[in-house]
Amino acid sequence: MAITISFINQKGGVGKTTSSVNTAAILAYKGYSVLLVDMDPQANTTGYYDMYDSEKASIYNVMLRGARVMEVVKQTPVKGLFILPSVLDFSRAELELSQILMRQEYVLKDALSFVSDSFDYILIDCPPARNKVTINALTASDYVVIPTIPDHFAIESITSMGELLNQVKCGVNPNLQVLGILITIDEITSNKKAYKEVLQTGELLPCFDTAIRKNTKLQEAINAHQPINLYDKSCSGSKDYSAFVDELLNKTGSTSGF
Amino acid sequence: MSKISIDNIVKSMDKAKETTGVLKFRPHEEILSLSILETNPYNDFAENDTPADIQELADDIKLNGLMHPLVINKIDGHFRLISGECRFRALQKLRYDNVRCTVYNDLPLACELRMLYAANLKVRTYTPAERIKYYEKLKELLTAQKAVGEYDGPIQSSIAGMMGVSDRQVRKYERISENLGEDDKEKLAQGEISVEQAYRIAQGKPKKTEKSVAISATTGSEVEQTSIPKPAKTGSTSGFTKNPKESAPPEKEKKIVQSAVSQDHKADVTNVYTDAWTQLRKLYRLFHYSENAEVANKLHGIILKLNDVMESEGFRLGGSESADE
């Protein structure tokens, strides 16, 4: 059974795609079998690995056209890492999902259930929104990571995510757990320092000890269509994401005593 | 650092916590191995489970399956039972391996104990003696936590919350616990006397450290506490007094004082105390968030001291605005 983790935050530009793409790659590098699901019609995750193709089948087909996941999933250039790509047309999903008669929230979960045994980790990159697509991702997930820039808007967006997660836990997915807030684009400024400290107290929600420092190499890696651990192993972005993955593995470690 | 408004951060954090606080303490279901579960050291009531009880439950589980998941607090790497010790022992007997659990993450001890007490209440009836014993345990726990700064709220009303009884009832437990002689306690345990009777007996006796005041058993008013000089924490003997002036007022004067103390006065004191406490907390957090640990700790000490003084006078925090963590 795969461990499914969603990267969510309705605030845009906080590092959801960067985080999910690099986390997936590092997990694959460590030998895990990983599926990266791109739920954003902007399809940045798909484009990151230079795999955008509007002609080919995508998450849209899987969720709304009855296509099977394994027929649509593609191997990325990174060994062990597979992707369920997205397309621009997926922006129609919101409307189409609301026309489904029953179990609108479970469409993704049902589709992924067929491949759950084929992967160790399924990472879902969510759009910057609170909508049916996000709810589908949350219904299908075991855990949630909330990437966020440590500034004042972080508190508001985390509150907003908190409300959404409360509803999901009360309704479609009582077992969803918040793995933690992941601080991204961290810098040594007094403003970011203050908010980082406040977030890392864990008073709002659990927060990862690792923070991802601002690092232009992370943008350069996109241009190269490579995950950061392959693009530049020694840069701070690579080190930070590796540390984050270690923390994540620790937190999602088997607790059943097997 | 001074250009960042800590106050703004604190304000928005407070608001955010109303939402995230709820989320943090929602449980999830998980299948756990029996071998990692631990029983709860505060669950004395399990002593009453006989091997026959456990066998009966084991037979039932074998026949019908485990119908209700065990309730666990996952904290500091421990998986501690909140509800389900009897089922746990039955499952061990059956040599079952993996069981359904409802798991809370990092539940504060106060919540855990409240749930433990409530869970047991559903399946066991508490004798008065058990209630007193539980009260004593909770008091010990909270006092210890307070001493190391882990807890800074009012003790009596917290215990009242945990046990699901009124503050007044908790004060009665306190008086019984402090004053009742061993033989009377035994009578209470055997059911020969009721809690009310025990309380009246306990009221009739003067408190141990007090010299002069015998409180009339007919008082019954809520302002019956008299102040006892508390030993100073540094160990100096200034708290112990041979000076009659510092001990409680003589009985005659006390009766006048009591009748003069109206409910209005009590309400006034409660309100001002609550305001002072709330403001001190805000002040403490301002320094805490701006990394000034030294000042923050001093302020924390002031809050603890305020609580001590007020509690010894029989006052507790009131109102809902003080209901932050």
Write down the ipTM of this complex: 0.77
Q: If you average pLDDT over residues A202-225, what whole number do you get? A: 95
Higher pLDDT, B158 or B94: B94
Q: Give dist(CA B263, CA B272) in Å, integer.
A: 14
User: What is the side-by-side strand order in the sheet with A143-148?
Assistant: A74-75, A81-84, A34-38, A121-125, A3-7, A143-148, A177-186, A207-213
Answer yes or no: is pLDDT of A215 > 50. Answer: yes
Q: How many CA atoms lie within 13 A of A217 on its CB side?
A: 19
CA-based torsion, A116, A123, A237, B3: positive or negative: negative
Residue B200 domain-assigned (yes or no): yes
Identify the pLDDT of residue B217. 40
* A100-125 per-position pLDDT tens digit: 999 999 999 999 999 999 999 999 99
pLDDT band at B123 (very low <50, low <70, confident <90, very high): low
Q: Give dist(CA A87, CA A47) in Å, integer.
A: 10
Answer yes or no: is pLDDT of A50 > 90. Answer: yes
**Residue listed under structure tokens 């749930």:** B115
Q: Are residues B78 and B152 in the same domain?
A: no
Which residue among B23, B29, B105 places its CB closest to the CB of A162? B23
Q: Give dist(CA B12, CA B6) in Å, integer.
A: 10
Which residue among B20, B105, B291 places its CB closest to the CB of A159? B20
- DSSP letter, residue A6: E
- Answer whether A178 touches B (CB < 8 Å): yes
Residue B247 domain-assigned (yes or no): no
Identify the pLDDT of residue B261. 54
Interface mutation vs chain A, best among B20, B22, B76, most A CBs within 10 Å? B20
CB–CB contact B28 A174 (8 Å)? yes
- This prediction's pTM: 0.68
Residue B38: beta bridge partners? B80
pLDDT band at B149 (very low <50, low <70, confident <90, very high): low
Give me the helices (H) in B180-316, please.
Answer: 182-190, 195-204, 251-260, 263-289, 293-312
What residues of A are in contact with residue B8 (Cβ under 8 Å)? 152
Answer yes or no: is pLDDT of B242 > 50. Answer: no
- DSSP letter, residue A56: S
Q: If you average pLDDT over residues B231-250, what whole number do you get? A: 39
Identify the pLDDT of residue B227. 38
Residue B120 domain-assigned (yes or no): no
Q: Give dist(CA A80, CA A229) in Å, integer.
A: 14
Q: How far is A242 from chain B (nearest CA, A)?
A: 23
CA dihedral B156, B157, B162, B164 (to 10 degrees): 110
Q: Are residues B132 and B85 in the same domain?
A: no
Residue B240 domain-assigned (yes or no): no
Whichever domain contains B93, its CATH number is: 3.90.1530.10
Q: Give dist(CA B309, CA B233) in Å, integer.
A: 13
User: A3-244 maps to which CATH number?
Assistant: 3.40.50.300
Q: If you average pLDDT over residues A19-30, what whole number do you get? A: 96
Residue B274 domain-assigned (yes or no): yes
**Residue listed under structure tokens 């009766």:** B255
Ranges assigned E (strand) in A193-241:
207-213
Q: If you average pLDDT over residues B167-177, what whole number do you get? A: 85
Q: Give dist(CA B160, CA B181) in Å, integer.
A: 24
Answer yes or no: is pLDDT of A230 > 90. Answer: yes
What residues of A are in contact with residue B78 (Cβ under 8 Å)? none
Which residue among B3, B20, B30 places its CB closest to the CB of A255? B30
Q: If you average pLDDT over residues B297-315, what whole number do you get? A: 86
A249: helix, coil or strand?
helix
Q: Give dist(CA A127, CA A130) in Å, integer.
A: 8
In the stretch 135-174 of chain A, residues with CB closer than 8 A to chain B read 152, 155-156, 158-159, 162-163, 165-166, 169-170, 174
Q: Give dist(CA A220, CA A239) in Å, integer.
A: 16
What percentage of chain A exceeds 70 in pLDDT?
A: 98
Q: How far is A171 from chain B (nearest CA, A)?
A: 12
| Burial of B283: CB neighbours in 10 Å, binned 0-12, 13-18, 19+ | middle
What residues of B are in contact with residue A156 (Cβ under 8 Å)? 12, 16
Q: Give dist(CA A11, CA A43) in Å, integer.
A: 16
Answer yes or no: is pLDDT of B113 > 70. Answer: yes
What residues of B are in contact with residue A165 (Cβ under 8 Å)? 23
Cβ atoms of A128 and A15 within 8 Å: the answer is: no
CA dihedral B143, B145, B150, B152 (to 10 degrees): -10
Answer yes or no: is pLDDT of B254 > 70. Answer: no
Range of the domain at B325: 252-325
Q: If you average pLDDT over residues B204-213, what whole number do you get? A: 49
Least confident of A3-12, A143-152, B79-88: B79-88
How many Cβ contacts (< 8 angstroms) between chains A and B?
A: 82
In the stretch 250-279 of chain B, residues with CB closer than 8 A to chain A read none
- Answer whether B13 touches A (CB < 8 Å): yes
Residue B6 domain-assigned (yes or no): no
- DSSP letter, residue A205: S
Q: If you average pLDDT over residues B43-48, what whole number do you get? A: 73
Q: Give dist(CA B198, CA B192) in Å, integer.
A: 10
Identify the pLDDT of residue B135. 84
Q: Give dist(CA B134, CA B40) in Å, integer.
A: 14
Token pair listed for B11: 């304000």
Cβ atoms of B316 and B167 within 8 Å: the answer is: yes
Closest to B275 measured CA to CA, from B217, B235, B237, B318: B318
Cβ count near B164 (within 10 Å)? 11
Average pLDDT of chain B, as a whole number: 76
Q: If you average pLDDT over residues B303-313, what whole number do you get? A: 86
- Answer whether A68 touches B (CB < 8 Å): no
Give me the helices (H) in A30-176, please.
Answer: 44-48, 59-64, 69-72, 93-97, 107-113, 132-140, 152-170
Identify the pLDDT of residue B151. 67
Q: Are residues B101 and B144 in the same domain?
A: no
Q: Give dist(CA A186, CA A192) in Å, integer.
A: 7
Extents of the domains making up chain A? 3-244
CA-based nearest residue in chain A for residue B79? A255
The contacts of residue B260 (CB under 8 Å, 6+ apart) are: none
Phi, psi of B70 (to 5 degrees): -75, 150
pLDDT band at B258 (very low <50, low <70, confident <90, very high): low
Answer yes or no: is pLDDT of A70 > 90. Answer: yes
Identify the pLDDT of residue B210. 40
Answer yes or no: is pLDDT of A228 > 90. Answer: yes
Identify the pLDDT of residue B321. 41
B94: amino acid identity, one letter? L
What percentage of chain A exceeds 90 in pLDDT?
A: 94
Least confident of A101-110, A171-180, B40-49, B174-183: B40-49
- Answer whether B245 touches A (CB < 8 Å): no
Distances (CA, A) of B96 to A57, B32, B90, B144: 47, 11, 9, 38
Cβ atoms of A200 and A224 within 8 Å: the answer is: no
The contacts of residue A235 (CB under 8 Å, 6+ apart) are: A215, A217, A228
Answer yes or no: is pLDDT of B252 > 60. Answer: no
Average pLDDT of chain A, as a whole number: 93
Q: Are residues B102 and B134 in the same domain?
A: no
Residue B85 domain-assigned (yes or no): yes
CB–CB contact A257 B26 (8 Å)? no
Q: How many domains does chain B have?
A: 3
Q: Give dist(CA B142, CA B153) in Å, integer.
A: 9
Residue A180: beta bridge partners? A145
- Answer whether A197 touches B (CB < 8 Å): yes
CA-based torsion, B27, A111, A18, A76: positive or negative: positive
Residue B153 domain-assigned (yes or no): yes
Q: What angle do CA B320, B322, B323 make, to 5 degrees?
A: 70
Q: How far is B225 from chain A (nearest CA, A)?
A: 37
CB–CB contact B13 A155 (8 Å)? yes
Q: Are residues B183 and B150 in the same domain?
A: yes
Answer yes or no: is pLDDT of A240 > 90. Answer: yes
In the stretch 278-297 of chain B, residues with CB closer than 8 A to chain A read 289, 291
Phi, psi of B36 (to 5 degrees): -95, -5
CB–CB contact B32 A197 (8 Å)? no
